[in-house]
Structure 1
Amino acid sequence: MLQNEKKQSFIALGRFLNQFSEAENTRNESVLGNDLFFDDFIKLIQLSQSHNGWYTPEQVYFAIQSWANALTEENIDKWLSAYGADFAVNKKERTVALILAGNIPLVGFHDFLSVLITGNKTLIKTSSNDQHLLPFLAKYLIFADESLKDKITFVEGKLENFDTVIATGSNNTARYFEYYFKDKPSIIRKNRNSAAILNGKETHEELEALGEDIFRYFGLGCRNVSKLFVPKGYTFDAFFQAIFKYQDVIHYEKYANNYDYNKAVFLMSNFKLLDNGFLTLKEDSSYASPISSVFYEFYDNIDELKARLETEAEQIQCIVSNNLTENSIAFGQTQNPQLWDYADNVDTISFLLTTK
């Protein structure tokens, strides 16, 4: 059963997170727990890059603001209203094991939220790449609602004594998860990538926004666009002009090292590349391009392309376009999912409510 106190604790967390942005950390004296958490959270943000080189303050602040925007009473009520009476039924409390990824900051927070807000306990195994942000937010939630203390456990070793599992990993680790958890109800997530469909009619502003979908989190997220579908005869001049604003990404050492390495590998293999000095474009049928590169393909017929994308849906997290396909996402919005936008299109709340 959904308890209003749990919802209120996440709303309180949203208000807490809303104080922090790259431009300025603005302390709101009406926010719960600031005396205990405000200064320490700023320190943690500043230290995040030392814990994971990809977690620059800019990227961490972006993730924090995304969750601040999501965790409002209006959004939570809209999200949960789709499940109607399901929340009104007393269900047996279950312990859900979460095996989290660490490719982008707080990538596992939605699963964490879903487990707790459906009245379950969680055992959490964080990624070695993201071991600090979620535990900090968990401490804040326990402060906001002490009843959560017995419902949140972080595990370093072997996961034991759980009923259900939600695990995120690569295609290789997914095979291990599927075998290891074969006797448990589970959601096992594999590699996915996102794509954009262009028709040559995009405005400069739309293509500039597409750059956000490509470069946010340095392209490490499954919602980052790593593949472009363009019409036959398409030239990339307008695209390169629009994404020029993201040129500073090459000044970040880890990204620059990947750019140099992957470009060298492509050139040694005699692949034809388009290159603007901080991003390479390579014609390739795959969806998963390496960091600092985007693959592209030409298409003849949009209907044929849509049919193909439907058959390859299990490889795709989301599609960006100017309404060229059903349920496509607007340019620049891939890293701003709503609470009801589920990873891999698997409804986590329904899974948690209906699993026996």
Structure 2
Amino acid sequence: MKPDCIIDVLDKLGSIISNFLSLSEEERVAKYPELSTAVLDCHEQNSWFVKPFVINSLKGVSQWLNKDKLWSFYNENRIKFAKTPKTIGLIMAGNIPLVGFHDFIIVLLTGNKAVVKLSSKDTILLPTLVSYLEKDFPEIAKHISFVQEITDNIDALIASGTNNTMSYFSYKYGQIPSILRGSRNSVAVITGNETAEEIEELTKDICLYFGMGCRSVSKIYLPDEECIKQIQDSLSAYSWMTNHKDWSDNLRFQKAMMLTKGETFYDCGPVIMIQESKLNSPMSVVHFEIYKSIEEVKKSLKALDSMVQCVVGDAKIDNSWVPFGKSQYPDINDFADRINTCDFIMQL
């Protein structure tokens, strides 16, 4: 397949997802029964994949899948379509739905073959989407395969997971060119001048996908503790999360632990906030740190750069910061860990 054909395929997928999202529940079932079933089955397979978050993941990837954006991305990254396709192994994490989709489309856009090992926690959604493509573009099947295990019969590997799994992959696939992504977190910076709407948007960055993504905000820099009240009020939009058994169990456990230790915390409904300098926070907990100046924050973030996926805040302070509410909606040019996967693949 040629570049224009691949882009036609991905544009078609974008249309399918966008049409699906625009329909009522009854219309979705009638027109896209397989995808409707997949959305429900995702939750049966993985209790963390609740329907609103699965729908949100489809919304997130659909924004990349239109001809104009794909051609712009293709040209901006000076993609050289492979004359002889290479085989790229993709090991996908299962923390949020479709978490490896960006790698998947880049392998296709560069003219290569994707050999995909899905997480056991997320085996339904991507194959369902691919099945729709194969109906109209049967030749795409030559570029995509799903496997139980990635062998060393590949030209390169892109894998995402925890730091522990990355150590294992580094050992197992050490002789193969690879991008290995371990654990990262994201942070937010509050100045105290935010609007109510911006704070409401921040709650998306905290709560979407139960805070399990590398782009989920696990720590907030605050000028003072008075800012917490506004965050606390806005988090009520996600109070439904406390009805999720596993989340609720974690929340109760964390509260009990802190009460036992005599630690002070803020009960914000679906999450609790505690003053803590560490970047990584336990599930259902958001850390906060009080700062004296923005320059102090920038210095702290520079030291943490290798552990931070993105920073949410006012782009007027730093143009690399992501607007409130947008951390879980990365642009197609937002490469994970700031490693350009197009360049990596084309240099093989």
Q: Could you say which TM-score interval applies, normalised by the shorter chain? A: over 0.9
Distance in 2 (alpha carbons) for counterparts of 1:322 and 1:265: 34
Report if aligned partners of 2:201, 2:325 keep a CA contact under 8 Å in 1: yes
Q: CA deviation at 1:69?
A: 2.3
Matches within 5 A, 1:243-322: 243-322=235-314
Aligned to 1:164: 156
Distance in 1 (alpha carbons) for counterparts of 2:68 and 2:22: 25
Report if aligned partners of 1:2, 1:118 keep a CA contact under 8 Å in 2: no
Report if aligned partners of 2:220, 2:288 keep a CA contact under 8 Å in 1: yes
Report if aligned partners of 2:90, 2:104 keep a CA contact under 8 Å in 1: yes
Q: CA deviation at 1:143?
A: 2.6
SS, match of residue 55 in structure 1? coil
SS, match of residue 5 in structure 1? helix
1:95 aligns with 2:84: no
1:73 aligns with 2:56: no
Aligned to 2:230: 238
Match of 2:277, as an amino acid? Answer: S
Match of 2:162, as an amino acid? Answer: S
Q: CA deviation at 1:179?
A: 2.0
Match of 1:61 among 50, 55, 58: 55
Distance in 2 (alpha carbons) for counterparts of 1:177 and 1:267: 39
1:350 aligns with 2:343: yes
Report if aligned partners of 2:218, 2:286 keep a CA contact under 8 Å in 1: yes
Matches within 5 A, 1:1-356: 3-21=3-21, 24-25=24-25, 38-84=32-78, 86-87=79-80, 90-232=82-224, 234-323=226-315, 324-355=317-348
User: Structure 1 residues 21 and 291 mapped into 2: Cα distance closer, same or farther (>3 Å)?
Assistant: farther
User: Structure 1 residues 334 and 8 mapped into 2: Cα distance closer, same or farther (>3 Å)?
Assistant: same
Which moves more between the two structures, 3-12 or 140-149? 140-149
Structure 1: gaps spanning 5 or more residues: 29-33
Q: TM-score, normalised by structure 2?
A: 0.94
Q: CA deviation at 1:23?
A: 7.0
Which moves more between the two structures, 121-130 or 138-147? 138-147
SS, match of residue 150 in structure 1? helix
Distance in 2 (alpha carbons) for counterparts of 1:232 and 1:91: 57
Which moves more between the two structures, 203-212 or 248-257? 248-257
User: Could you say what the CA RMSD is over the residues aligned between the two structures, in angstroms?
Assistant: 2.1
Post-superposition Cα deviations, 1:44-99, rounded to whole Å, max 9, x if no partner, equal: 11222101101111111111122222211121122112123x426x5432101111
Post-superposition Cα deviations, 1:287-313, rounded to whole Å, max 9, x if no partner, equal: 111221100111112112212212211
Aligned to 1:31: none
**How much identity, in percent, do the aligned residues show?**
32
Structure 2: gaps spanning 5 or more residues: none
Report if aligned partners of 1:103, 1:221 keep a CA contact under 8 Å in 2: yes
Match of 1:41, as an amino acid? Answer: L
User: Structure 1 residues 118 and 144 mapped into 2: Cα distance closer, same or farther (>3 Å)?
Assistant: farther
Match of 1:273, as an amino acid? Answer: F
